């Protein structure tokens, strides 16, 4: 367990039961709201989903629908970091 998580658990233990339930409910609510704001196309659900999305990205790059990582980095560097 990370130090931050342990510190959070320790703080919750020090609170009254009613307040600790409210804090936990707020944390869960906040995490759920953040989760719902992320588009499904960038959310990795499991290992198979990651492999599928990487493969789709590779195919899209090869077909020219999107830039390869190398080409995207090159374009960014040329636009923002190279003096013309």
Q: Nearest 10 degrees: CA dihedral of 32, 56, 70, 46?
A: 40
- φ, ψ for residue 17 (rounded to 5)? -60, -40
Copy the structure tokens of residue 13. Answer: 């233990």
Task: Give, as one character, the DSSP assignment of residue 41.
Answer: G
Residues 16 and 31 in one domain: yes
The pLDDT of residue 52: 92
Residues 28 and 64 in one domain: no
CA atoms within 13 A on the CB side of 79: 6
Residues 80 and 49 in one domain: yes
Number of domains present in the structure of the chain: 2
Q: Provide the residue range defining the domain that includes 23.
A: 1-37
Residues 79 and 48 in one domain: yes
Please give the model's pTM, rounded to 2 decimal places.
0.45
Query: How far is 13 from 24, CA to CA, in rounded Å?
Result: 11
pLDDT tens digits along 44-71 = 888 899 889 888 888 988 898 888 888 8
């Amino acid at each position: 367990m990370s130090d931050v998580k342990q510190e959070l658990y320790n703080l919750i233990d020090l609170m009254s039961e009613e307040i600790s339930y409210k804090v936990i409910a707020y944390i869960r609510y906040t995490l759920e709201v953040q989760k719902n704001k992320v588009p499904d196309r960038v959310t990795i659900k499991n290992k198979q989903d990651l492999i599928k999305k990487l493969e789709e990205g590779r195919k899209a790059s090869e077909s020219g629908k999107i830039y390869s990582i190398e080409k995207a980095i090159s374009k960014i560097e040329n636009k923002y970091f190279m003096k013309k």
